[in-house]
Structure 1
Amino acid sequence: MSDFKLTYSTMFNPPAELHQQFERAMAVLKHDLGRDYGLFIDGKNVVSLNKIEKRSPIDQYWLLGRFHMAGESEVDAAMAAACKAFAGWRATAWQVRVERLRKVARLIEDRVYRIAAAVSLETGKNRMEALGEVQETAVFFDHYCDLMEQNQGFDQVLPNDPLDDFTSTNRSVLKPYGAWVVIAPYNFPFALAGGPSAAALVAGNTVVLKGASETPWAGRLLAECIHDAGIPDGVFNYLNGSGSVVGQALVDHPQTAGITFTGSYDVGMHIARAQLDKPYPKPCIAEMGGKNAVIVSRHADLDRAALGIIRSAFGMQGQKCSALSRIYVEKQVAERLIALLTEKIHAIKIGDPAVESNWMGPVVTRKAYENFATYSTQLQQQGARLITGGEQLKSEPYVAGFYCTPTLAEAPLSHPLWTVEMFLPIVMLARVDSLDQAMQLTNASQYGLTAGFYGNDEETGWFFDNVEAGVTYANRPQGATTGAWPGYQPFGGWKGSGNTGKAIASFYYLPQYLREQSQTRVE
């Protein structure tokens, strides 16, 4: 990536070389579509009885590949492989694990353009979002290796017992659990598979990854990077399959030692409860939904606010758990903010996201496309009005894809969609009488993932003191509620957005994949 350091904050002004490299990789990849991809179990490509055709949301005529689907027998095989490999991987010195996993990071970086092209084709992300996701995954591997080194493998010498007749030494050692399951979502199929896998692996666990059936390619590409870096067979295994069959089988499996899940609140809570309802409780890290709000003060820089709102509401077509979906603006400046937002929305170019000039691509799934039409109709009812957007794009060149217009709606506070995580390029706006009212509305949600604010210095301090969210931003043009990057902004939610209170890529994340053993030795 040359001397340019790609993050979600710097992605808006990349060097020309980056675009050229991406376009070359995309051209090569498009000539190699339609292949068969197996599962990855115990170091081997595994074919199954069932497979699905994966087509691009950009154009349903593009066959990306045929992907084999796991069933319960493949779940058992993957868990058996992970359990068998655990003893050797756990016994591998943490320094060696770090060395090997850094090789994974370098391989991801070497393949960043090809993998990003695949992610763009599979999810409909624009090139910068796709490149950002893949590069972020490499950073996750490095970051968790850094944490392992900084904490010296989480092996801490404690004071000796105060005895006169004996020397009694004490240590605290964090040890891995075993075969760890990672269940990844479709919106960040590479990063939210790779990040938790990296943490589990560097801690000494083995991994069984289940990718989302809507986006099976990314997990397979991650498996290839891990295998090619020399990670021993069975340490990492990849399954593709539905949540109801493969996901549930992994949740119920007696050899599952712990689970990291990213997805909806309902599924996350189901998994967390299931882990507690076993013969003894097993760890679950559940990163769940968001209904993220921004508060705009009458003292705000409205041009900056409008830019940050657009980027967070419509980046990746609103299909981020951190996407902005609620705007609370003081009524004195509401009309001016609406005018600025409308102008910027009308300037957004929609189309094939692999094309440099197009910022918005399609939504990922047909279900999301259909939900968009339903919600757009509801946003013209019960006192709500569409300010702009609300259309599915069905003419050429959009007819074969899942394209929707970026949508801004104003709605009374009683409207039911204020509480629904739509996961679409839809943002709702309400005028408020005061910042206190805006804060009350922001915090009333069952979710508490991200939140944003635009106002003066005094108001900003008040915002940070009072908002109930795990990731908070103030006066940020790069994104009102989005843009966390490992090493800069830990990412995790409060309340119904996360069950641990520990953020991804924070100082406190990695120990969740380990359990503490106190060791006392009398000499």
Structure 2
Amino acid sequence: MLFLQQLNVHAQNEGTSTGTKWISSQGEELSSYSPVDGKLIGSVRTTDKVGYEAVVQAAQGAFAEWRKWPAPRRGEVVRQIGEVLREKKQPLGELVSYEMGKSLQEGLGEVQEMIDICDFAVGLSRQLHGLTMHSERPGHRMYEQWHPLGIVGIISAFNFPVAVWSWNTMLAWVCGDVCIWKPSEKTPLCSIACQNIITEVFARNGVPEGVCGLVNGGRELGEWMSADARIPLVSATGSTRMGKAVGAAVGSRLGRSILELGGNNAIIISKDADLDMALIGALFGAVGTAGQRCTTTRRLIIHKDVYEQFTGKLVKAYGQLRIGNPLDQHNHVGPLIDKDAVTSYLAAIEKCKAEGGKFIVEGGALEGDGFESGCYVKPCVAEASNSFQIVQHETFAPILYLMKYDTIEEALSYQNGVPQGLSSAIMTLNLREAEQFLSAAGSDCGIANVNIGTSGAEIGGAFGGEKETGGGRESGSDAWKAYMRRQTNTINYSNSLPLAQGIKFDL
């Protein structure tokens, strides 16, 4: 495949790197099969304990030097990475689409996110600011500054195999940190491609070996990173179950964690909504990436006065969806990541029916020509209660639950009445409803949108959620502070030593 050649990804690859050097490992072979057609793309050699130690030790050594580089100089390296990503956007987007299964447009969009965060980080490299405070003591100056933490461990998920890594890495690098990345074992070849891109830039800039480590493997690697006191910050994206394990392990050693976990996102559709606009937002939110985004729309809370009208539009739109090879840009929906995901999808449908759900768009697995991988399913829609156990649970698949409401207060109670708190939206032209939704008594999610869907966040805003979503923030705004340590400094330039709070300690 041409895109593999352009990214220097081979049939067999080492999966462990300290930056520009690949390390031979005695780990197992990890094969990557495309959910698009079931074919073997390639394999990587997983990281064993010896390889892991080599990566961590290289990172420790690199940090001692990297943190001394001026932040704008580190930003220049990131700028060059962004330029190479522009050159490699098409082949990398194709690899993301083929290995993960999302549409090519979404694969290209993911690489564009990487480019965007590079641009953001370059600007940030000249804006890592602290505050100056007035001291109560005469002849004193007080201020705060931010210093890098050290090694940042990044555990990423299959659904965004490259973008979320870049959110963390580019910010961490300009902050002066070094990184170790453990990608999902379901999309290892995307990590190889990214490491090759980084290697090219690092080599020509004399970046210390160890600034960008890569380890490939399964759960055990994540456990090593979470328990490793040499890694002060672990940023983990994945299920709530996984995040609780990471958070407990990191917390037990008083480390820091950024947790981006499950979502159970809803759109409230008001009687005052533009229904055509609401349809677009709901449809992409529910079926984009085949329902495998943490921001996927899983619930529609629809006002009773427009319920029949809107569901009619929705059913018609679902009937027009084209399911198939995501590299074919005529298709809207690609496959789930693997057959286990299909099994979970089918089980969720049965649970919904058992609890009393009524499907107005039927689901099911797809077979036959074009669906040989066994990973394709039908996006489906069910009328359900917010109290159903399956509705309270995040199923990583294109299943959309509908429910009616009467008052905005009732809608908000449904919106907030789930364990997760990532993304939310309301479709309304009623200013009072919109403001109530955004108020402290409104949505309890980390992301709350008006007249756009739950999916498709921009990198300029901090990304993350509350409750069982983990509470972490990545990407824009002041999320960079999570990758640094705060230091308060007081300088006495007087010829005496007065104490704070007026305390006297004279001899």
TM-score by length of 2: 0.91
Q: Which of residues 475, 478, 482 is equivalent to 2:451?
A: 475
SS in structure 1 of the partner of residue 462 of structure 2: coil
Cα distance in 2 for partners of 1:28, 1:177 equals: 37
Who is 1:82 aligned against? 59
Structure 1: 5+ residue stretches without partners: 1-23
Who is 1:53 aligned against? 31
Contact 1:101 1:145 in 2 (8 A): yes
Contact 1:361 1:403 in 2 (8 A): yes
Q: Residues 31, 177 of structure 1: CA spacing in aligned structure 2 closer, same or farther, 3 A cutoff? A: closer
Cα distance in 1 for partners of 2:425, 2:194 equals: 33
Contact 2:292 2:398 in 1 (8 A): yes
Residues 394-405 of structure 1: pairs in structure 2 closer than 5 A: 394-405=367-378
Structure 2: 5+ residue stretches without partners: 494-507
Cα distance in 1 for partners of 2:227, 2:404 equals: 47
Residues 28-427 of structure 1: pairs in structure 2 closer than 5 A: 34-49=11-26, 50-60=28-38, 62-149=39-126, 151=127, 153-154=128-129, 156=131, 159=134, 162-163=137-138, 168-230=140-202, 231-243=207-219, 245-278=220-253, 281-427=254-400
Is 1:513 paired with 2:491?
Answer: no
User: Shift in Å at residue 169 of structure 1?
Assistant: 4.2
Q: Give RMSD over aligned pairs.
A: 2.0
Q: Which of residues 395, 412, 434 is equivalent to 1:460?
A: 434
Who is 2:499 aligned against? none
Letter in 2 for 1:460: A
1:57-82 Cα distance to aligned partner (Å, 9 max, x none): 0011x221111111222221111110
SS in structure 1 of the partner of residue 482 of structure 2: helix
Q: Residues 333, 170 of structure 1: CA spacing in aligned structure 2 closer, same or farther, 3 A cutoff? A: closer
User: Shift in Å at residue 98 of structure 1?
Assistant: 0.9
Who is 2:465 aligned against? 493
Contact 1:178 1:257 in 2 (8 A): yes
User: Shift in Å at residue 366 of structure 1?
Assistant: 2.0
User: Shift in Å at residue 48 of structure 1?
Assistant: 1.9
SS in structure 2 of the partner of residue 295 of structure 1: strand
Contact 2:78 2:121 in 1 (8 A): no
Letter in 2 for 1:154: H
1:109-129 Cα distance to aligned partner (Å, 9 max, x none): 111111111101111011110
Q: Residues 47, 31 of structure 1: CA spacing in aligned structure 2 closer, same or farther, 3 A cutoff? A: closer
User: Shift in Å at residue 161 of structure 1?
Assistant: 6.9
SS in structure 2 of the partner of residue 321 of structure 1: coil
Cα distance in 2 for partners of 1:37, 1:135 equals: 27
Letter in 2 for 1:59: D
Who is 2:502 aligned against? none
Contact 1:272 1:286 in 2 (8 A): yes
SS in structure 2 of the partner of residue 310 of structure 1: helix
User: Shift in Å at residue 53 of structure 1?
Assistant: 1.4
Cα distance in 1 for partners of 2:135, 2:426 equals: 50
1:80-109 Cα distance to aligned partner (Å, 9 max, x none): 110111100011111111111111111111
Cα distance in 2 for partners of 1:95, 1:30 equals: 28
1:196-219 Cα distance to aligned partner (Å, 9 max, x none): 011111111111100000011122
What percentage of aligned pairs have identical amino acids?
Answer: 26
193-202 or 123-132: which moved more? 193-202
1:492-514 Cα distance to aligned partner (Å, 9 max, x none): 212221324xx323322001111
User: Shift in Å at residue 368 of structure 1?
Assistant: 0.7
Cα distance in 2 for partners of 1:30, 1:64 equals: 13
SS in structure 2 of the partner of residue 39 of structure 1: coil
User: Shift in Å at residue 26 of structure 1?
Assistant: 4.9
Cα distance in 1 for partners of 2:10, 2:34 equals: 11
418-427 or 219-228: which moved more? 219-228
Contact 2:15 2:47 in 1 (8 A): no
SS in structure 2 of the partner of residue 320 of structure 1: coil
User: Shift in Å at residue 25 of structure 1?
Assistant: 6.1
Cα distance in 1 for partners of 2:95, 2:317 equals: 29
449-458 or 341-350: which moved more? 449-458
SS in structure 2 of the partner of residue 347 of structure 1: coil
123-132 or 299-308: which moved more? 299-308
Letter in 1 for 2:153: V
Who is 1:12 aligned against? none
User: Shift in Å at residue 148 of structure 1?
Assistant: 3.0
Q: Residues 158, 190 of structure 1: CA spacing in aligned structure 2 closer, same or farther, 3 A cutoff? A: same
Cα distance in 2 for partners of 1:283, 1:173 equals: 19
Cα distance in 2 for partners of 1:289, 1:504 equals: 15
190-199 or 47-56: which moved more? 47-56
Cα distance in 1 for partners of 2:438, 2:182 equals: 36
Q: Residues 31, 193 of structure 1: CA spacing in aligned structure 2 closer, same or farther, 3 A cutoff? A: closer
Who is 2:500 aligned against? none
Cα distance in 1 for partners of 2:61, 2:282 equals: 49
User: Shift in Å at residue 422 of structure 1?
Assistant: 0.2
Contact 2:172 2:483 in 1 (8 A): yes
Who is 2:501 aligned against? none
User: Shift in Å at residue 425 of structure 1?
Assistant: 0.6
Contact 2:19 2:214 in 1 (8 A): no
User: Shift in Å at residue 159 of structure 1?
Assistant: 4.9
Contact 1:194 1:222 in 2 (8 A): no
25-34 or 69-78: which moved more? 25-34
Who is 1:18 aligned against? none
Contact 1:101 1:198 in 2 (8 A): yes
Cα distance in 2 for partners of 1:510, 1:382 equals: 44
Cα distance in 2 for partners of 1:257, 1:416 equals: 37
Cα distance in 1 for partners of 2:451, 2:132 equals: 44
Letter in 2 for 1:212: S
Who is 1:15 aligned against? none
User: Shift in Å at residue 254 of structure 1?
Assistant: 2.6
User: Shift in Å at residue 29 of structure 1?
Assistant: 6.3
Contact 2:272 2:430 in 1 (8 A): no
In the alignment of these two chains, the number of paired residues is 485
Letter in 1 for 2:480: L
Contact 1:292 1:324 in 2 (8 A): yes
TM-score by length of 1: 0.88
Letter in 1 for 2:50: S
Contact 1:169 1:520 in 2 (8 A): yes
User: Shift in Å at residue 299 of structure 1?
Assistant: 2.0
Q: Residues 439, 365 of structure 1: CA spacing in aligned structure 2 closer, same or farther, 3 A cutoff? A: same
User: Shift in Å at residue 304 of structure 1?
Assistant: 1.6
1:249-272 Cα distance to aligned partner (Å, 9 max, x none): 111123112111111112212222
User: Shift in Å at residue 386 of structure 1?
Assistant: 1.4
